[in-house]
Amino acid sequence: MLNTDEKTTRLVEPPTDTHGISSSSRLLLDQITDKWSVLILTTLCEGPLRFNEIRRRIDGISQKALTSSLRRLERSGILSRRVIPSSQIAVEYSITALGRTLDEPFRALFDWTINNSSKVLQAQFEFDKRAIED
């Protein structure tokens, strides 16, 4: 496993501790649940897509954020990258078998968000209103 910081890259043995939540578990949770990763994986669960198609489907994502998220997810074995040889080189991303196991929980989270966003916005409005009054 690679551990990277700003200046160096080195190989690090994967942790073997299975008691509690390890730092590697927290890092993985951070990787798969950041806002862009959730949207990327939800989009790719529909089928393989090229980089620019992913970017068009996810409103507001920058090229840098998309590249970084795709690279992290590929490194974790959650998606795969395939170079398509043609007159102009194209790259297609798809969900791996491991990544496919996230489809159901992500779909549930996405559906919950869609179904409850108006309730959350109302709760935020009420909270902010009370904060102003206090």
Q: Which string of DSSP letters, residue by residue, matches the chain?
A: -EEE-SS-EEE-PPP---SS--HHHHHHHHHHHSHHHHHHHHHHTT--EEHHHHHHHSTT--HHHHHHHHHHHHHTTSEEEEEE-SSS-EEEEEE-HHHHTTHHHHHHHHHHHHHHHHHHHHHHHHHHHHHHH-
What is the model's pLDDT at position 122? 96
Percent of the chain with pLDDT over 90: 54
- 107 or 12, greater pLDDT: 107
Q: Is pLDDT at 14 greater than 70 in this prediction? A: no
Banded pLDDT at 15 (limits 50, 70, 90) = low
What is the model's pLDDT at position 12? 60
Q: Is pLDDT at 20 greater than 80 in this prediction? A: no
Q: Is pLDDT at 67 greater than 90 in this prediction? A: yes
- 11 or 110, greater pLDDT: 110
Mean pLDDT, to the nearest integer, of 117-130? 95
